[in-house]
Structure 1
Amino acid sequence: MIGSRRRARSTVNVWPGYVDALSALLMLIIFMLLVYVVSQLYLSQTLSDRNTELAHLNDRLNGLSELLGAEEDRNTVLTSQLGASLQRNDELQTRFDGVRNRLMQISAESGAQEERLEAQSQAIADRDKTLEEKDEFSASQQDTILQLSNQIAALEQQLRVIANALELQEDETADREAELENVSRRLNTLLAERVSELEQYQSQFFSRLRDILKENENIRVVGDRFLLPSELLFASGSAQLGSAGQRELAKLAEVLLEVADRIPDDIDWILRIDGHTDLIPINTERFPSNWELSTARAVAVVRYLAGEGVPEQRMAAAGFGEFFPVAEGTSPQALQQNRRIELKLTDR
């Protein structure tokens, strides 16, 4: 009996239990792998989003830096204009001080003359008193007294005229000072308004140019100026516009005409075109130096823009040669940056 029970136990199959345990363990491992893969994907997406946000923040920071540079340049221009206005006010004040001193001198001279007249009147009165004590007066003495009396009357009349003129001059001076002070305030206000309006149109002009010329990486903005590389417009050592440069200038002319139509006629604005070269000298029959080359390139840009409809009286061309670099050194990159055409919308 006992032997038969042992044989029954030994015939029991335990492999299905092991298989179930292994299956459960395998499913657990697969689940953990899925969780790991999903977490890695989530972390990768999160890092990508953060990198994108950092790139956007860097772009915004660069834009703010450019705006800050433009604001600093405009503040410099406004400070210069304010200094000129203050200098003009000082000159006017100096002139008024001179007029006031002259009037005070005239008043002092009139007072001295009045004292002399009073002394003469007293002398004549004393003389009249002396003559009255005499019984007889000669005809010549009476004529002298009459002449002196007439002279005294004429001098008194002149004194009254001078006093009235002084009072009138003082009133006119006070009115003129008040008027000049009012005119100065109005001029400062008008100047501030005109500068503010021109800055608005400058902002519109540069904003449109940035949008149109943003595809060209070589075009840069420094403060309130657009810098176009010479290689974009001209061949080396030449002042003849190329086809690529004409296309870019045509875009610029279209934007300028669009903005110019909205600028009021009483704002005296101009577009400055400045030519610059690198420090490598040139000596050809047409261009003996970099002065001639930079000036000829600026004039070529002006002539092309005039052909596109930009008013000639609203443009100015100047050549600066190699004397105002924007990059130091003699590396190819520095030389390329210094060969440029600068555009600036400003007042005349």
Structure 2
Amino acid sequence: MNGSQASIIGAIAAIALGSVAGYFYYAGEQYKTERDQLRQSNQMLSLNQQQAVREQDDLRNRVVTLESRLSQTDAQRTAAIRELEQQLAQAQQELEATRQTLAQVRADYERTSAMGSDADALLSSLREELAAAREQAAAQEAKIEEQRAALEEQQQQVSQLASRLNEEQQALDELQSTLELLDSERQQLVERLDSGTTIIKLPERVLFASGSAELNEDSVATLREVVRALGSFPDYRISVLGHTDSRTITRELAVLYPTNWELSAARATAAVREMIRMGAPRDRMRAVGMADTQPLAAEVDEATRRQNRRIEIVLEPPLSVVPL
């Protein structure tokens, strides 16, 4: 070995020793680091172990508590099971009774099902009769309601008619009293028939001179009282009838009144004309000559003939005033 080779080998050895020393230094440092880490891990494990011991103690306590509660729960479960068994036994008894009842019901149903079709037919018939009866009852109720309304209206009309008839009768009574004062014979001069027609008799001497159709002075007061009474008879038809006796017209009067027809008509016309002038309703009046066709008495003397010589004012009511 020469000197250069020795130098090279020495250099290589130095390098190798340096590398080995560096390695051991690095390994020592790494070992220290791992040692420190292990110590820290050991400390952490110690802490975790202490925590685990505490948790284990807690778990033991919880297990004891759960075992106590489980024991209570088992007792309650046992009691509940017994109660359920009792209820089940009772339910089975009730079910058996229900089955028996159902069997009886089925038997009854089988007995009655045979009559079902007849019952359905009868029920259908009864329903039809009921519907017809209801319709008839509704129609009857409507008819009764119409009759009730008509009755109420009729009662109102009767009340109005009674009031009107009372007013008319009062007017006639007053007229009778007035005419009695004007007629010395005090006879019945106002007559009301059952039909509602009213007849006012005015003797000849109250209105006319014998054989004349000219109204005298006393006629004005008499006819005025009649017209005043007519105010209580609205809508009545007013007929003024002239009546004579049966004697033949004298030769002197025959020029004006050839027969009793002309004389009776002239007297009726004169009375109508004067009454219209006093306010009597013109459109409801008429004058009629009756001559001697409707005597009141058989003529045997002057007194009976005087009864037949008269003016009659006939008041004929409309249908609404005719007594019901």
TM-score for both structures, normalised by structure 1 = 0.42
TM-score for both structures, normalised by structure 2 = 0.44
